[in-house]
Amino acid sequence: MKNFFITGLLLFISLASGQELRSPNGEFVLSFDIRNGGVPTYNLTYKGKPVVKESKLGFELQKDQYSLIDGFRVSDIKTSSFDETWKPVWGEVKTIRNHYNELAVTLQQDKADRQMVVRFRLFDDGLGFRYEFPQQKNLVYFVIKEEKTQFAMAGDHTAYWIAGDYDTQEYDYTTSKLSEIRPFMAKAVTANVSQTSFSPTGVQTSLMLKSNEGVYINLHEAALIDYPVMHLNLDDKNMIFESWLTPDVHGDKGYMQAPRTTPWRTVIVSDDAREILASKMTYNLNDPSKIDDTSWIKPVKYVGVWWEMITGKSSWSYTNDYPAVQLGVTDFTKAKPNGTHGANTANVKRYIDFAAEHGFDGVLVEGWNVGWEDWFGHHKDYVFDFVTPYPDFDLAGIRDYAKSKGVKMIMHHETSSSVRNYERHMDEAYQFMKDNGYDAVKSGYVGDILPRGENHYSQWMINHYQYAVEKAAEYKIMVNAHEAVRPTGIARTYPNLIGNEAARGTEYQSFGGSKPNHVAVLPFTRLLGGPMDYTPGIFEMDLSKLSPSNNSHVNSTIANQLALYVTMYSPLQMAADLPENYMRFPDAFQFIKDVAVDWDDSKYIEAEPGQYITAARKAKGTGNWFVGSVGGEQARTSSIKFDFLDKGKTYIATIYADASNAHFKTNPQAYVIRKVLVTNKSKLSQFVAPGGGYAISITEAGKDAAKGLKKL
């Protein structure tokens, strides 16, 4: 009888567990409920059809702590709405609307007297939800063994996926049914200098999916702060993804202290692929900028002493005298130069001249600082000091020369993943940058992480990347971190994070090549969390012409390369090829010179993951538009309207397109350029070669300039 009364009492004070939340436009319905044994679940429908079927929520805990999996009841429910419009410091659009309905469910776990909140935000483009652990007596410090968040798929969708990995995202995408992930996994895991697979059905976010019914679904996370990266592991019998966090050296997956929250888990959904590309949900789930004065944060178009090393034409290192070097011990002034060092003063000045002549903002130089002789693969702790140039890099002379030419030098900090060493030198390195006129840094994390046992995406490292960005902000330094964690919209909060690599970039075109449709996937996945320093603009696809021993081929046409400046949105865009290669194709190069890097508006005109993307963007503070279109492995015809242009105005459109016989493999440099007049009534039907694309620059037609031009 006693038990009966207690149960009755609990039932009495329990709130009805089933809850529903609708998106502002009513197209999404999120349902939350407590199932057998007190297990919290949710499901999501879109236009009346299931997108995420009933899926469990919770955590398995380490260290003998009772898990946060079952025994829950709903003790409080709060709903609210939010609608704001904010201005990004840089971006695809001038303003972003952040509009959602919210449901916060407080879950009471009576057995342990603990509370956990699940907060759902339903936008017109999808769902974000996170866990929150309020301050309380019985849940203070805890260690996550595994987050058990499920995403139960409604079918055997097509997935555009890369293999789950604790150390690299630099894989080509595989397109397959969910049921094919397992058989395709072995082939999907290609070689990388640091990589750690974990499951035959483990994949990375952001994961793009398409249902048989033509619904596009993207699974990712937002606001990843001091928490391990979430991978997704597929139960491929039931098509249920479950979160799989990146462990630390002990297999622990998150050291937590309440009060705190997890990152947001996101489900972006649309039956129009273009809406996925246009989604700003990931940014909206991040906090507003914590940098008050953002006037020093500026988009950058740049060239650099980089591709020549990547292709093997020159070297990062200065000397071949020693089997290994030691900073502070090795006397580089007495070493014999190897004659291949790219970052020598004369060569750097050549790039500065080139940048100045063609209107680039900056010049990146890699290999300028001592330590490159044995920088990689040795777990070397004191590998770089970030402030000591090689003898042939005249730091002061280059600094003054660049300044005289109106060009900004871009710093390079390769850490070799010796992370303690980087943190030890970070203040001095940032101050050194400011003292020498560098406002932006490209950082790198090549190789296995030091401290040993940590991975690129474990909580320890997520904490580090954030530390580097926040400290850079103190120095008014912009960061472009390579091999770091893929972004999750944090650039809203720290807009000095102007770029990341965190995916397979153009460098892989020199390491064996990437799939020709790679760039038609990235905007659906990697770019949703933030911009990528993809380093496009390669004009010479036969890399043996740069370096005889390099047999790699760039799987792209020149027109495709031009289109990337528009389709791969980034406030940081490199013209990656060598000056001499641009000078061979000055008419095509003109587009790179003209294209903007910051925008007032963006329109996605055509989109299908892995097949094509066509985007039009309006250059910041102007009436000019730029269009980019990339295809996939097959040729196609792109059909677009120019209805995004102002009514009644006539524009000059310069179209940089694949020649009819162009092909990424056999004829990548065949392009045609034509100038035509367009209005907002114009339409274009444009051939796109295999691995090809096209780019258009559109300027308002001055009377003189328009003379003699035909209408499209």
Give the interface segment with a copy of itself, choosing from 151-159, 176-184, 371-379, 535-543 (CB under 8 A): 371-379
The least distance separating a copy of itself from the CB of residue 374, rounded to whole angstroms, comes to 8
Q: What is the DSSP string of 15-61?
A: PP--EEEE-TTS-EEEEEEEETTTEEEEEEEETTEEEEEEEE--EEE
Judged by CB under 8 A, does residue 1 bind a copy of itself?
no
Q: What is the DSSP string of 247-299?
A: P-TTS---EEESSEEPPEEEEEEESSHHHHHH--HHHHTSPPPS-S--TT---
Judged by CB under 8 A, does residue 467 bind a copy of itself?
yes
Judged by CB under 8 A, does residue 463 bind a copy of itself?
yes
Residues pairing with 619 in the sheet: 599
Nearest to 686 by CA among 656, 646, 647: 656
**177/471 with CB nearer a copy of itself:** 471
Interface size with a copy of itself, residues (CB under 8 A): 35
Q: Tell me which of 26, 37, 48, 323 binds a copy of itself, using CB under 8 A.
A: 323
Q: Tell me which of 252, 308, 366, 501 binds a copy of itself, using CB under 8 A.
A: 252
**173/465 with CB nearer a copy of itself:** 465
Q: Tell me which of 339, 406, 453, 512 binds a copy of itself, using CB under 8 A.
A: 453
Q: Give residues 106-135 in contact with a copy of itself (rule: CB under 8 A).
A: 135
Residue 129 has which token pair? 């939800």
The least distance separating a copy of itself from the CB of residue 431, rounded to whole angstroms, comes to 11
**157/456 with CB nearer a copy of itself:** 456
Which residue type, as a one-letter code, is found at position 512? G
Judged by CB under 8 A, does residue 250 bind a copy of itself?
yes
Contacts of 562 (CB under 8 A, 6+ apart): 537, 588, 591, 592, 595, 628, 656, 693, 694, 695
Judged by CB under 8 A, does residue 435 bind a copy of itself?
no
* Cα separation, 445 vs 481, whole angstroms: 8
Nearest to 134 by CA among 93, 75, 94, 211: 75
Judged by CB under 8 A, does residue 249 bind a copy of itself?
yes
φ, ψ for residue 13 (rounded to 5)? -90, -10
The least distance separating a copy of itself from the CB of residue 62, rounded to whole angstroms, comes to 11
Judged by CB under 8 A, does residue 86 bind a copy of itself?
no
The DSSP secondary-structure symbol of 221 reads E
Q: Apex CA 533: angle with CA 528 and CA 537, to 5°?
A: 115
Q: Tell me which of 56, 177, 182, 424 binds a copy of itself, using CB under 8 A.
A: 424
Q: Tell me which of 103, 258, 528, 607 binds a copy of itself, using CB under 8 A.
A: 258
Cis geometry, peptide bond prior to residue 516 (ω within 30 degrees of 0): no
Give the interface segment with a copy of itself, choosing from 2-10, 374-382, 480-488, 652-660 (CB under 8 A): 374-382
Residues 383-422: x where in contact with a copy of itself by CB under 8 A, - otherwise, as a string:
-------------------------------------x--
Long-range contacts of residues 424-431, Cβ cutoff 8 Å, at least 24 apart = 425/384, 425/385, 425/386, 425/387, 426/468, 426/471, 427/471, 428/386, 428/387, 429/386, 429/387, 430/471, 430/472, 430/474, 430/475, 430/477, 431/475
Judged by CB under 8 A, does residue 290 bind a copy of itself?
no
Q: Tell me which of 16, 26, 48, 137 binds a copy of itself, using CB under 8 A.
A: 137
Q: Catalytic one among 92, 366, 507, 540?
A: 507
* Cα separation, 545 vs 578, whole angstroms: 12
Judged by CB under 8 A, does residue 648 bind a copy of itself?
no
The least distance separating a copy of itself from the CB of residue 164, rounded to whole angstroms, comes to 22
Our answer to whether residue 507 is catalytic in this structure is: yes
The least distance separating a copy of itself from the CB of residue 260, rounded to whole angstroms, comes to 8
Q: Tell me which of 27, 414, 454, 483 binds a copy of itself, using CB under 8 A.
A: 454
**255/585 with CB nearer a copy of itself:** 255
Q: Tell me which of 140, 186, 583, 705 binds a copy of itself, using CB under 8 A.
A: 140
**252/507 with CB nearer a copy of itself:** 252
Across 279-297, b (16+ Cβ under 10 Å) vs e yields bbbbbbbbeebebeeeeeb
Residue 573 has which token pair? 């865009």
Residue 183 has which token pair? 């058989």
- CA dist 462 → 282, 448, 455, 692 (Å): 17, 15, 10, 36
Residue 455 has which token pair? 């991975």
Nearest to 530 by CA among 566, 569, 562, 576: 569
Q: Which class for 404: exposed (0-12), middle (13-18), buried (19 or more C-beta within 10 A)?
A: exposed
The least distance separating a copy of itself from the CB of residue 147, rounded to whole angstroms, comes to 18
Judged by CB under 8 A, does residue 212 bind a copy of itself?
no
Give the interface segment with a copy of itself, choosing from 8-16, 244-252, 396-404, 537-545 (CB under 8 A): 244-252
Judged by CB under 8 A, does residue 141 bind a copy of itself?
yes
The least distance separating a copy of itself from the CB of residue 463, rounded to whole angstroms, comes to 7
Give the interface segment with a copy of itself, choosing from 94-102, 323-331, 483-491, 517-525 (CB under 8 A): 323-331
Across 133-152, b (16+ Cβ under 10 Å) vs e yields beeeeebeebbbbbbbbbbb
The least distance separating a copy of itself from the CB of residue 242, rounded to whole angstroms, comes to 25
Q: Tell me which of 66, 184, 198, 255 binds a copy of itself, using CB under 8 A.
A: 255
Give the interface segment with a copy of itself, choosing from 1-9, 119-127, 445-453, 585-593 (CB under 8 A): 445-453
Give the interface segment with a copy of itself, choosing from 321-329, 335-343, 635-643, 692-700 (CB under 8 A): 321-329
* Cα separation, 173 vs 191, whole angstroms: 14
- CA dist 238 → 151, 152, 155 (Å): 11, 8, 9
Residue 240 near residue 55 (C-beta atoms within 8 A): yes
Residue 532 has which token pair? 């990528």
Strands (E) across 426-549 are located at 440-444, 478-482, 497-500
Q: Tell me which of 47, 111, 378, 649 binds a copy of itself, using CB under 8 A.
A: 378
**35/378 with CB nearer a copy of itself:** 378
The least distance separating a copy of itself from the CB of residue 480, rounded to whole angstroms, comes to 22
List residues with catalytic annotation: 507
Chain residues that interact with a copy of itself, rule: CB under 8 A: 135-137, 140-141, 143, 248-250, 252, 255, 257-259, 322-324, 326, 329, 374, 378-381, 420, 423-424, 427, 451-454, 460, 463, 467
